Structure 1
Amino acid sequence: MNARKYFTLIIAACFLAVACNTTPEKKATAKDSIPVNHTYGYDKNFLKENIIGAFELVSEDSVSRVLLSADYQGRVITSTADGDSGTSFGWLNYSLIGGDQKKKQFNPFGGEERLWLGPEGGQYSIFFKGGDSFNINHWQVPALIDTVTFNLDQFSRSSATFTKKAQLTNYSGNVFNINIERTINLLNKKDVAGKLQTTIPPNIKMVGYETVNKLTNIGNTDWTKGKGLLSIWLLGMFTPSPKTVVIIPFTPVTNARSFITDNYFGSIPAERLQVKDSVLYFTCDGKFRSKIGLSPTIAKPIAAGFDFEKNVLTIVIPQVHKDAPYVNSKWELQKEPYKGDVINSYNDGPLADGTQMGPFFEIESSSPAMELKKGETGEYRQTTCHLTGDYNSLKQIAQQLLGVNLDDIKK
């Protein structure tokens, strides 16, 4: 039996094991209309029909669930805190996933945490060929982080590990021979409470997971700043509502505003981006294309989003190293290629021609630039959790973790 058939049988068995006691929902196809308030069960059935390598991590009570895919580079596609009937937190591009054709430059399949590598722009970019202009016509997402299937090395009810060996060449012609290892661990309520250093009351439902991402230099030469470095970049695509706000606390240093980048796609209207005291508030309703970034100089290891329509608090816990170099992904030849962001947030919106990819919003984070000697491994961890339920309880959690009053934001 070849490896592909064996892998397919494993995934099928895994899905049967976790789904045998549930009532199947209507099978979804790319041609079906997608309900506005689609459930996790809907998304799961859609993916079962369209992706061979999709399977679940499931909590002991079968309520918290995380859907993964080896076909999509070990991506966390979506999750739920309330079983098949619960909200599906990840954004999915149904037409692309269910379609027959792949896009040439980039396939925005969606997913609430996908693995990318940086930098995107600059003289050490892995998204542009040497000598090309930094514009959308020359931009190319490496197949490794777009369409390549990863190996599923191990999985259980609560954990899975994916690996892939590859070679990348940057804009300056430097070659990287790499091995990627990515492990996703489903967290229980006690685990999440420990990560957040708070108490999660019984009237709050939650799902949480930690990803452990490793990059190993398997080439014959050391990676040095002078030839360019790589970073691990994690992007979470979530479903917005008209009342979704991203909330990012930061360290209130002198001239803190200068360490926040807000002009990636032009200026952001004041009513959509507010920086007060030591917290940034960014409207993420999927209606205005915009992006912000925080330097490690001011960033704290936390970023959040709150959906006032569904009472969902999403918390992302990245690792932040204030004194470390971070790759710069701006589309230009750079004077400071290691002065990049550690935390970003993106709000999708219509392009100039009226078309739109989403709508979705993103919370992103990056590892420091990895200066690895031959045989060395760099590691980057991130925790994502969704809390939903009683508004007053969520308000207390937000106050403790973020230092904000949700009532004030709501107004």
Structure 2
Amino acid sequence: MKNYLFFYPCLLLGAAGCNPASNNTEAAAVKDSAAKGTYAYDAAFLKKHTAKVIELTSGDSSAKVLLSADYQGRVMTSTALGDDGNSFGWLNYDLISAPEKKKQFNPVGGEERFWMGPEGGQYSLYFKGGDSFNIAHWQVPSVIDTDSYDVTKSDKSMAVFSKKASIKNYSGTSFEIAIERTVSLLGKDQLSQRLNISIPADVHVVGFETSNKITNTGSNDWTKDKGLVSVWLLGMFTPSSETTVIIPFHGIPNARSFITDNYFGDIPKERLQVADSVLYFTCDGKLRSKIGLSPLIAKPIAASFDFKKNVLTIIIPQVNKDAAYVNSKWEMQKEPYKGDVINSYNDGPLADGTQMGPFYEVESSSPALELKKGTTGEYKQTTCHFEGSYATLQTLAKQLLGVDLNTIKK
């Protein structure tokens, strides 16, 4: 049975019948009784303001993952401690509850959303041919912004979303595509195998994997000279004044030159510290800044630690140092296939004082998909959150990242 947890209001026609108003009243009551920042609060909020939300849940209901078909099969949030636990995904409450959608981009949030690259350049999917690369001309395609996806399968442990679309890039190349996105809840044993560690019994954890497939359904092969696309996954999380993104990398000679740190101007030294094989990036939602790592140095891991809430977040992307990656810089590019594989963004006030968040992001991208007609490219990523004693999380961080949390804390 499809597990549309309380969110297709007319799906269950029991003795009480279908009563959306009653559902919304119930959601409002739960929301009012739950503390903001908890999973229960966000689940009730989404129940009230959206139609197609699916919940994945562990057998003991401690690990939960909330998905939305309205928002392209997006992982909206998750928890490791049940309804009263921390809600890990950042949600834009004002925009989700607004009666109208924005024209250019609807940043509703969510801890993993499906996007496609490249963003800028001659093969951009976000600018029309001939337009200048500035915010006034930037347009997020509807298939990754406002379109609802079909739910082809779901149960308590996984859900599959699908969508067909046509997209044209800056150079005029059209892409006929079929998207299939599968989100799977991972148990503690599965995560232990995936991370190659033993997770202590006193650690609470939630983890999920997404499989993101793009099929070339058109009549032509996709070739580099006309532009390629990629899978781009972006996780939006709630920051604190004590949140640091931690990204290990291969310490090859001149590794620093393979880290881009000037997307939105120079980052103050105290906010970005780069050692021989790891970087530390302050993500407190107070200064708009972004970094990116080339596949030539990136490892298949990125993380963050919230010292205020004692939460370790681990993201496992796929990295291929020999592959071509699309370049998303907002300019005509000399090297359109030398882009980043891992990025992190810290939100902050714009020049006019307004701010979208605060939130921070950890992002990853697939290689450029050079697909022959009828073939499919797939990209997978795993996200997990750990909560426990500081000493235990310190040990986990040392095992997974090779870093000492005490050093970062100082």
Amino acid at match of 2:330: W
Conserved 8 A contact 2:184-2:208: yes
TM-score, length basis structure 1: 0.93
Please tell me the residue identity of whatever aligns with 1:112: E
- AA partner of residue 267 (structure 1): D
SS of the counterpart of 1:95?
A: helix
Partner Cα separation in structure 2 for residue 378 and residue 10 of structure 1:
35
| 2:19 corresponding residue in structure 1 | none
The aligned counterpart of 1:325 is: 324
1:31-84 superposed Cα distances (whole Å, 9 cap, x missing partner):
x99998520000000000011001200001111000000000000000000000
Matched residue, 2:49? 50
1:11-410 correspondence to structure 2 within 5 Å? 13=12, 38-410=37-409
> 1:328–1:338: 8 Å Cα contact kept in structure 2?
yes
Whether the aligned pair in 2 keeps the contact of 1:253 and 1:298 (CA below 8 Å) is yes
Question: Residue deviations 1:101-126, cap 9 Å, x none?
Answer: 11110000000000000000000000
Letter in 2 for 1:382: Q
Distance in 1 (CA, whole Å) between partners of 2:128 and 2:320 is: 30
Are 1:11 and 1:55, in contact at CA under 8 Å, matched by a contact in 2? no
How many residues end up aligned between the 2 structures? 395
| Aligned partners of 1:25 and 1:42 also within 8 Å | no
Taking the aligned partners of 1:46 and 1:65, their CA distance within structure 2 comes to 16
Aligned residues: CA RMSD: 2.1
Q: Is the 8 A contact 1:11 1:52 kept in 2?
A: no
Q: For residues 199 and 107 of structure 1, do their structure 2 counterparts lie closer, same or farther at Cα, with a shift above 3 Å needed?
A: same
SS in structure 1 of the partner of residue 406 of structure 2: helix
Question: Is residue 246–residue 304 contact of structure 1 (8 Å, CA) maintained in 2?
Answer: yes
Q: Percentage identity across aligned positions? A: 66
Cα-to-partner distance string for 1:171-208 (whole Å, 9 max, x where unaligned): 00000000000000000000111111111101110000
Change in 2 beyond 3 A, CA 1:347/1:406:
same
Change (3 A) 1:193 1:11: farther
Whether the 8 Å CA contact 1:301–1:318 is kept in 2: the answer is yes
Is the contact between residue 11 and residue 53 of structure 1 (CA under 8 Å) also seen in structure 2?
Answer: no
CA distance in 1, matches of 2:45, 2:36: 15
- For 1:264, give the aligned amino acid: Y
Deviations 1:331-382 (A, max 9, x none): 0000000000000000000001000000000000000000000001000000
1:11 positional shift: 8.3
Distance 1:173 1:115 in 2: 23
SS at match of 2:239: coil
Amino acid aligned to 1:360:
F
SS at 1:234 equivalent = strand
Q: Which whole-Å CA distance do the structure 1 matches of 2:241 and 2:27 have between them?
A: 26
SS at match of 1:184: strand
Change beyond 3 A, Cα 1:26–1:41: farther
Match of 2:377, SS state, is strand
Do the aligned partners of residues 133 and 98 (structure 1) sit closer, same or farther apart at CA in structure 2, a change above 3 Å counting? same
Structure 2, unaligned stretches of length 5 or more? 1-5, 14-22
> Is the CA contact 2:35–2:41 (under 8 Å) kept in the aligned structure 1?
no
Q: Which residue of 2 aligns with 1:20?
A: none
**Cα distance change, pair 34–228 in 1 and its aligned pair in 2 (3 A):** farther
**3-state SS, counterpart of residue 191 of structure 2:** helix
Q: Using the TM superposition, give the Cα deviation of residue 25 of structure 1 relative to its aligned residue in structure 2, in angstroms.
A: 12
Match of 1:18 in 2: none
SS in 2 for 1:141: coil
Q: What residue in structure 2 maps to residue 4 of structure 1?
A: none
Q: 1:12: Cα distance to partner?
A: 5.2
- Amino acid corresponding to residue 156 of structure 1 in structure 2: D
SS of the residue corresponding to residue 313 of structure 1 reads strand
Does structure 2 retain, via aligned residues, the 8 Å contact 1:11–1:54? no
The one-letter amino acid paired with 1:305 is S
- Cα pair 1:213 1:380 within 8 Å, conserved: yes
Say which SS state the counterpart of residue 395 (structure 1) adopts: helix
2: CA distance, partners of 1:179 / 1:166: 6
CA distance in 2, matches of 1:120, 1:250: 24
Q: Is the 8 A contact 1:224 1:371 kept in 2?
A: yes
Tell me the distance in 2 between the aligned counterparts of 1:78 and 1:278: 31
1:313–1:388 Cα contact (<8 Å) kept: yes
For the residues of structure 2 that align with 1:331 and 1:272, how far apart are their CA atoms?
A: 24
Q: 1:123 to 1:25 in 2, by over 3 A?
A: closer
Could you say if the C-alpha distance between residues 13 and 318 of structure 1 is closer, same or farther in structure 2, counting changes exceeding 3 Å?
A: farther
Deviation string 1:1-38 (CA, Å, 9 cap, x unpaired) is xxxxxx97488559xxxxxxxxx999666xx9999852
* Secondary structure in structure 2 of the residue aligned to 1:400: helix
The residue identity in structure 2 corresponding to 1:54 is V
**TM-score (norm. length: structure 2):** 0.93
**Which amino acid in 2 is paired with 1:242?**
S
Amino acid at match of 1:151: D
1:389, CA displacement in angstroms?
1.0
Find the aligned partners of 1:92 and 1:9 in 2 and give their Cα distance. 21
**In 2, Cα distance between equivalents of 1:252 and 1:28:** 50
Alignment CA distance shift 1:65-1:36 (3 Å): closer
